[in-house]
A and B are shown apart, each in its own frame.
Chain A
């Protein structure tokens, strides 16, 4: 069985809130989360944010419920594009593990599906979609291994948004037939998050089948993360990385605790 992931947790300015959101995600059973930084294209010369170093966020990452492993945190950038000039692949995009684009027009949606080097295409959850999903770009995206993302937390916050979220999700899923869909939270606060099984159930009302719906929070997300990793490589075949310096001194071998005998005065006999 694959682990659960939530690939959209909004990075706010409030560090404590982000921390508690990630802690809640770990408690709910998500093994991997991605902190989402958004760039609005229409604002002129908006700088692409640099991701906050993860070591600053937590000293020890919270343990995932039922897994006894620490949660894995990724960085993700979402480019909101209303014009073709907004999406420019620059070096700054390479600081992020995942790259998403939120196309606002039909033309950009087509370009995002067919050409853009991204991992995720976001579907609007806060407004009615201004264009129809056409079969050819959607199929193109599926063939290239790009995934569509539905975020649900706007629907939890506001009843009107709930309607838009469901409408857009149903429209998308009827076109892509349940393939290449991920469902993520987009949460800003811990209470906007829901458990992975709740989301697998929520997928059913979007029109996904039971299997697709569970894949939308587990295996499909894994494909997105792997796609994100191969994006920085040459055709996914060659990957270069700096080798870490080998330590010159071998660290002393630790003796397992069971082999240490304890004497009465508390000193250890090895």
Chain B
């Protein structure tokens, strides 16, 4: 009997992956605060600089997507600097002296995993 080709591809990752992806969300007290993507990244870099100094501010990380209405973004960061980036994001408390907070929704070594959230999934 002829075997049908599987509709999926199986990928096994044996080593720790090079990048980690973080899905984050910025929240403000008042709703009507808007940022551009550049300001958003600058805010994170300032946070890194506050906690880790010049060396910290020089970490390479990328903002892959940024949603200006929801202020949500996906970041890509090297595995080795994930802890530093995450802790810097945690300790950011204000933007232009307006209090704010970053909510980290998901962290994963696979970008595909961020496409859905099992915690908010609705099963039909």
Residues of A near any B CB (own CB < 8 A): 28, 65-66, 152, 155-157, 159, 162, 189-195, 197-199, 201-202, 204-205
Contact = CB atoms under 8 A, between A and B. Distances in A.
Contacts of A156: 91-93, 101
A190 to B, nearest CB: 8
Contact of B101 (A159, A194, A204, A205): A194
A204 B83 contact: yes
A192 B94 CA distance: 10
A91 to B, nearest CB: 39
Contacts of A191: 27-29, 93, 99-101
B87 interface: yes
Interface in B58-72: none
A193 B90 CA distance: 10
A202 B50 CA distance: 15
A202 B101 contact: no
A193 B101 contact: yes
Interface in B20-61: 27-29, 50-51
A198 B27 contact: no
Contacts of A202: 87, 90-91
B114 interface: no
Contacts of B19: none
A190 B101 CA distance: 9
Interface residues of B, number: 21
Given A159-B50, A191-B101, A195-B103, A205 B87 contact: yes
Contact of B93 (A157, A199, A205): A157
Q: Which among A66, A162, A189, A201 has the greatest number of chain B C-beta atoms within 10 A? A: A201
Contacts of B99: 189, 191
B104 interface: yes
Contact of A198 (B29, B86, B93): B86
Interface string B92-109: 110000011101100100
B119 interface: yes
Contacts of B89: 198
Contacts of A192: 93, 101
13 contacts: A155-B91, A156-B93, A162-B51, A162-B91, A191-B29, A191-B100, A192-B101, A193-B101, A194-B101, A195-B104, A201-B87, A201-B90, A204-B87
Complex A-B, nearest 8 residue pairs according to Cβ-Cβ distance, in ascending order: A156-B93, A191-B101, A198-B90, A201-B86, A205-B87, A191-B99, A66-B119, A202-B90
Nearest to A156: B93
A214 B92 CA distance: 21
B93 A65 contact: no
A231 B28 CA distance: 41
Contacts of A157: 93
A201 B83 contact: yes
